[in-house]
Structure 1
Amino acid sequence: MDRRTVLKQLGAATAFGSLAGCVGVQEQDTETATNDDGGDGSDDGSADQDTETAGPAGEATAWYSLPEPELPGREKAIETFTSETRHTVEGSDISDLEQKTTSAVPAGQGPQVFDWAHDWVGDYYQRGFLTDQSDDLTVDLDVFTDAAADAVQYEGNVVGLPYSAETVTLVYNTDVVDEAPESVSDMVAVMDEYHDPDAGQYGLSYPFDPYFTSAFLQGFGGYYFDPAADPQLGVDRDETIQGLEFALENLTPYMPNDPTYEPQAAAFAEGNAAFAINGPWYLATLNDKGVNYEVTSLPAVDGGELRPYTGISMWYFAKAMESGGADATAGREFVEWYATNEEIHLQNAEEHGAIPVLDSLVGSDDLPANVQAYSETVGQGIPMPTDPKMNKVWGPMETALIDAFNGDATAEEALTTAATDIRENWE
């Protein structure tokens, strides 16, 4: 299980009940999602594409797995595209997208396009689940940030288009904290004063898993996996161990005693924590709960620089597009339209804290302050590796962090064991 699968399953906690996943979101039947692609496409001329000159109308299926608050916006976008072009797109929210894609795509029953973070790119391309659309695209990758453009390519193949970035950064409760802390030391001073578990008050809400804690484990020169480094695996290097020791010493004493996503995220969302470290998807939950908060960049640490993993949300071009035809054209044109639509991205930024990756919007004053803060942290971060070997890193690292958090192993013991397990898995 990879890091985003964990996020999706635990996260759609819009009401703790749901946050970065699909708890409470009804899954649509695979057969319906695949075969019931809607009615005839229509063209009202607004897309400047006449069916006689631009080719026949196509019917494409788009799969995604979104937090519940984001579904109306996605459905509206698909409806708009369908009404303004000759094509029809049928959207389906899938509760376990990894399971669905890995079973349906090889059987020839998958969608034309699907939406997920970029960390599946290498694995899915090598398994034959994706198709290169570089020869047919009308969108130039130069319109996106360099990191986003790189994320959707593998071995020279363009296997999708990006539309937003994600990472985790610091959020603070303005009813408890007067101003954003400049350093972890400043954070500790506030947490030490506020933390009172007996009264249900916590200094920090912070899911202790490999994705979330990457900022600290990679903050002193350490790393998890780098295909260009020697050695490629860095989880048991001294610098990575130092990062985990720092987190265990300075952060975990102020957190709820369950390291998993939901209880950690709930503490801040219920107004019972001074700080949280979480992603932009979390803001919908905080808005729903009525928490007074501000988002800021990650604080400074002595002797290091926090470097969280970053992800690029993208539309993948699935194997179903390999043979071409009108349906493939429909899928590709929908993705091109969605990925370059400034109105959609500004709306997603305003309503859900999404971080646009269009160069025309990056740093724009039109973006909410919270999104600008996340964007700044994205600039500090490291894109998750797309190499398929990374898939074997997440599980052992998750176990290691839980063991270290619970005091069942020291940082060195936990990460040494993780490294051994990862190398065995690679073999």
Structure 2
Amino acid sequence: MITKKTSRLLGAAVVAAAVVAGVAACSGSGSGSSGSAGGTYTFWDPYPQFDASADWTKLVEQCGTDAGVTVKRTGYDTSDLTNKALLAGQQGNSPDLLLVDNPVVSTLAEAGILTTTSENKLDTSDIQKNILAAGQLDGKTYGVPIGANTLALYYNKAVLSAAGVDASSITDWSTLTDALGKVTAAGKKGITFSAIGTEEGSFQFLPWFWGSGANLTKLDSDKAEKALTLWTDWLKKGYAPNSVINNTQTTSWQEFATGDYAFGENGTWQLGNVKKAGIDYGILSIPAMDGGAAPAPTGGEFMTIPVQKDTARYATSKKIAECLTSTKSFVKTDTTLSYIAPTEAAQKEQVAANPELKPWVDAVAAAKGRTSDDLGTKYPKISKELWTAVQNALSGSQSPADALKAAQTAAAAATK
């Protein structure tokens, strides 16, 4: 027999299958069980790369010790974590704490397996509103972000200098396109990015989409067409390589790391790699069409407290969550994960320790949650049609206008 709650969970599982993290963070495998009595609390996260010796694991365990309990941590692959969380919620044995990629929060909230911050009493007053928005649905907040990452443009100072381009002159799409023309005329390569037919492709296109003033509820607007035309024109002119159609964010980065490209669209998580590449680099916010910084999508995870049969457990879960989201932990954790902290106080400490993070703090301040604008669980369905439109336009199988018109028709049908 399928109960109303079970029906919601099964439907959410279908949506969850379409949610793939568009950021460089975090996936893995493992097993876990619901929180059990006797001082043991369970914690699931999407960081399987961290074993028992990792700083992250030690921090989680220490926060448990500080709360007077033992924390049993398990890491899962990002998509696997979502499905396991939905199944555990259906079976009534959710973990005590659950750390999930921000677009997944609305899926789990709609399924009815997360407590709200008004219920679990987690404080969100100091969290930047644009970062917190990714964990909100129907006016309720379902967790606390542990940090955020986003996209910007890395640029190669040597390539720009050889082409006679001053990075500070790049303020909008027109000046960026002019710079790409000068770079390619000088014998170098222009810009590389990821336009693959997955969430990564949507993630990388969104700054240009939003930077045009377009809205995800109307994929075929004139503004959206301008954004997609920008990318298709770059390919036609040779300013961007045809490889972007299949590029992940990793392969796109590998192209930039050759030193031949003027620009590479990528995230905070590449800071360590750019130094290893030995490139004399700078960071630019992705420009909006008419100037200013375009809203880039936020990546990162939310600390949530799932619904428990024994509601008395929430008090201790809250203590553990508060420890993991304190300013001290934000700075330690977010620096390790290449995240920008979600509070001003922690951001100041990060920049004081590493001034190179300042452009990323600015980028995160202008960023936007993918499930914002009350999209919630509609976002994955819209995103799928958006990345399909990008693929069709860049491959030349459809014009930007036709590709987006087809995308809007499909998205409208999928989100009824």
Q: TM-score, normalised by structure 2?
A: 0.79
Correspondent of 2:226 among 242, 259, 264: 242
CA deviations on 1:194-231 (whole Å, 9 max, x unpaired) are: 559xx9x742221121121111112222111xxxxxxx
How much has 1:112 moved relative to structure 2? 1.8
- What amino acid does structure 1 have at the position aligned with 2:151? V
Change (3 A) 1:161 1:256: same
CA spacing shift, 1:307–1:358, aligned 2, 3 Å? closer
1:212 has 2:193 as partner: no
Percentage identity across aligned positions?
A: 20
Corresponding residue for 2:364?
378
Deviation at 1:190, TM superposition (A): 4.7
Q: Is the 8 A contact 2:95 2:306 kept in 1?
A: yes
CA apart distance, 1:311: 4.3
Mapped to 2, the partners of 1:94 and 1:411 lie a distance apart of 38
CA separation of 1:186 and 1:150: change in aligned 2, threshold 3 A: closer
Count of residue pairs brought into register by the alignment: 379
**Residues 2 and 366 (structure 1 numbering): CA distance in 2 closer, same or farther, change over 3 Å?**
farther
CA distance in 1 between counterparts of 2:142 and 2:209 reads 30
Residue 411 (structure 1) shift: 0.8
CA distance in 2, matches of 1:97, 1:265: 27
Tell me by how many angstroms 1:174 deviates: 4.0
Which whole-Å CA distance do the structure 2 matches of 1:118 and 1:283 have between them? 22
Aligned equivalents of 2:17 and 2:270: distance in 1? 16
Residue 310 of structure 2 is matched in structure 1 by: 323
- SS of residue paired to 2:83: helix
Whether 2:242 is the aligned partner of 1:254: answer: no
Choose between structure 1 and 2: higher helix proportion: 2
Give the structure 2 partner of residue 141 of structure 1.
124
Give the alignment of 1:164-203 within 5 angstroms. 164-178=147-161, 180-181=167-168, 182-183=170-171, 184-192=173-181, 194-195=183-184, 202-203=189-190
Q: 1:72 aligns with which of 49, 54, 60?
A: 54
Cross-structure match for 1:85: 67
In the TM superposition, 1:16-415 aligns within 5 A as: 19-22=24-27, 25=28, 27-28=29-30, 30=31, 33-34=32-33, 58-66=39-47, 68=49, 72-95=54-77, 96-137=80-121, 139-178=122-161, 180-181=167-168, 182-183=170-171, 184-192=173-181, 194-195=183-184, 202-208=189-195, 209-224=201-216, 233-250=217-234, 253-258=238-243, 259=245, 260-261=247-248, 262-287=250-275, 291-299=279-287, 301-302=289-290, 306-311=294-299, 313-319=301-307, 321=308, 323-326=310-313, 328-340=314-326, 342-363=327-348, 365-366=351-352, 368-384=354-370, 385=372, 386-415=375-404
Question: Counterparts of 1:172 and 1:67 in 2: how far apart (Å)?
Answer: 32
Give, in whole Å, the separation in 1 of the partners of 2:68 and 2:38: 5
Distance 2:63 2:181 in 1: 52
How far is 1:175 from its partner?
A: 4.5
SS class of match (2:264):
strand
| Structure 2 gaps, min length 5 | 1-14, 196-200
Report if aligned partners of 1:148, 1:357 keep a CA contact under 8 Å in 2. yes
Q: Distance in 1 between matches of 2:92 and 2:278?
A: 45
Distance in 2, Cα, partners of 1:136 & 1:399 = 39
Amino acid at match of 2:192: S
Shift of residue 142, structure 1, vs aligned partner: 1.4
Q: Secondary structure at the match of 2:98?
A: strand
* d(CA) in 2 for partners of 1:322, 1:35: 11
Which of these residues, 20, 31, 45, is aligned with residue 6 of structure 1?
20
Larger CA deviation: 297-306 vs 308-317: 297-306
2:309 and 2:123 mapped to 1: Cα distance? 20
- Deviation of 1:390 after TM superposition, in Å, equals 2.0
Q: Secondary structure at the match of 1:309?
A: coil
Could you list the per-position Cα deviations for residues 220-254 of structure 1 after superposition, in whole angstroms to 9, with x for gaps in the alignment?
22111xxxxxxxx2111111111211232246743
* CA-CA distance at 1:309 after TM superposition: 2.6
In 2 relative to 1, CA 167–323 (structure 1 residues): closer, same or farther, beyond 3 Å? same
Say which SS state the counterpart of residue 383 (structure 1) adopts: coil
Can you list the C-alpha shifts for 1:245-266, whole angstroms capped at 9, x where unaligned? 1232246743332323143232
Distance 1:375 1:338, change over 3 A: same
Matched, 1:420 2:409: yes
Classify 1:66/1:169 alpha carbon distance in 2 versus 1 (closer, same or farther; 3 Å). Answer: farther
How many angstroms does 1:378 deviate by? 2.5
Q: Is the partner of 1:366 in helix, strand or coil?
A: helix
Distance 1:159 1:271, change over 3 A: same
Residue identity matched to 1:165: A
Alpha carbons of structure 1 residues 156 and 420: separation in structure 2 relative to 1, 3 Å: closer
- Judged with a 3 Å threshold, the aligned counterparts in structure 2 of structure 1 residues 295 and 60 are, in CA distance, closer, same or farther, namely farther
Q: What's the offset of the Cα at 1:312?
A: 5.5
Tell me, yes or no, if the aligned pair for 1:20 and 1:282 is still in contact at 8 Å.
no
Cα deviation, 1:316-346, whole Å, max 9, x if unaligned, reads: 2223x353134x4333221111112x23322
Letter in 2 for 1:59: T
SS in 1 for 2:99: strand
